[in-house]
Amino acid sequence: MSKENGLPVIGVLGAGTMGRGIAQVAAASGHMVKLFDIDKDVLAKAVIGISSGLDKAVAKGKLKEEDAEGAKKRIKTVLSTSNLKADIFIEAIVEKIEIKRKVFKELESQNSTDTIFATNTSSIPVTSIALGMNNPGKVVGMHFFNPAHIMKLVEVISGAETDQETTKTIVDLATSWGKTPIKVKDSPGFVVNRVARHFYVESLKILEDGVADHETIDKCIESLGFKMGPFRLMDLIGVDTNYSVTSSMFESFSYDSKFRPSRIQEGKVLAGHFGKKSGKGFYDYS
């Protein structure tokens, strides 16, 4: 499709915790952005969140006011994938392989053969997401960290079939957005989430064992210099998303007990206590 401003049009799939941050960075970097979600309330919240994020960047002197206003105008929200076109899609929908595959396949059928499909999955191998695509060479991992408009690191993951050119385009794109892209191999959880899993899983075990309550565990870890303890961080990430990532890695690593999801965390998900985004998680935000 034709590029706008000489820059590729970015389709952001999912306007939740991650999608809105990614859309903000893309728009602030000059791209036209099509932000898709199936939930109109989520889209409305995302627009408010992005607008306030851009205003904060202006207040901090990181962005000019006219650039923030331009970025706001470059984001178009859409409630359907039907006829949705972009040069690069960045997918940040729920951590469920079958949903990610279905959305990519549908979009592939109605977009140019040059279109790139980048996934922000935290734990699912890119090779599996690309399975069934006509052109798996265009599928790549582009893993941002939360909050996506602030955190610099982006893991770039080539699946078994990813073209080198596709990977290079994504590395260059992340660099042009002021990010620090690091290429890593395709393996469940890649680097950061594999290491970080133990931060969450072991903290939940400490809680289950009654060694300390969640606030005490957070205090201990934060007093060591970590910006956030594991429970505060799970609330920021989304307790549901964090639980899905652990469950997916538990399965991918042949049910190795070191990745076993916690019943306490499962209980929070069943109760709808997803953290900051739902108003309650391990902490209360109401």
Ligand X SMILES: NC(=O)c1ccc[n+]([C@@H]2O[C@H](COP(=O)([O-])OP(=O)(O)OC[C@H]3O[C@@H](n4cnc5c(N)ncnc54)[C@H](O)[C@@H]3O)[C@@H](O)[C@H]2O)c1
Q: Which chain residues interact with ligand X by CB under 6 A?
A: 14-19, 37-39, 42, 92-95, 99, 103, 120-122, 143-146, 237-238, 241, 245, 277
H or E element at residue 91: strand 88-91
Is 134 labeled as catalytic in the residue annotation?
no
Exposed, middle or buried: residue 52 (CB in 10 Å: 0-12, 13-18, 19+)? exposed
* Residue 83 annotated as catalytic: no
| Least separation in angstroms between CB 209 and ligand X | 26
Q: CB-based contacts of 113: which residues, under 8 Å, 6+ apart?
A: 135, 138
> In terms of CB distance, is 241 or 262 closer to ligand X?
241
Q: How far, in Å, CA of 205 to CA of 2, rounded? A: 52
The question of whether 128 is a catalytic residue gets the answer no
Q: How far is the CB of 160 from ligand X (least distance, A)?
A: 20
By beta-carbon proximity to ligand X, the closer residue of 82 and 164 is: 82
Map tokens 């009654």 to a residue. 210
To ligand X, the closest distance from the beta carbon of 93 in angstroms equals 4
Q: Which is nearer to ligand X, 99 or 206 (CB)?
A: 99
| Residue with Cβ nearer ligand X (210 or 227) | 227
Told to judge if 4 belongs to the known catalytic residues of this protein, a careful annotator would answer: no
B/e letters for 75-94, b = 16+ CB within 10 Å, e = fewer, are: bebbeebeebebbbbbbbbe
- Return the residue matching tokens 């690309």: 130
- Closer CB to ligand X, 37 or 87, in the complex: 37
Nearest position to ligand X, beta carbon: 16
75 DSSP β-pair partners: 33
Give the max Cα distance, the chain.
59
The one-character DSSP state at 259 is G
Residue closer to ligand X (CB basis): 145 or 177? 145
Active-site hit among 29, 158, 193, 242 = 193
Beta strands 139-143 and 153-158: pairing type? antiparallel
Shortest Å, Cβ 145 to ligand X: 6
DSSP string, 147-159: STTT--EEEEEE-
CB of 179 to ligand X, least distance (A): 13
d(CA 235, CA 282): 7
How many CA atoms are closer than 13 Å to the CA of 59, on its beta-carbon side? 6
CB of 84 to ligand X, least distance (A): 11
* Catalytic-labelled residue, pool 91, 95, 108, 155: 155
CB contact set of 270 (below 8 Å; sequence gap of 6+): none
Catalytic residues: 122, 143, 155, 193
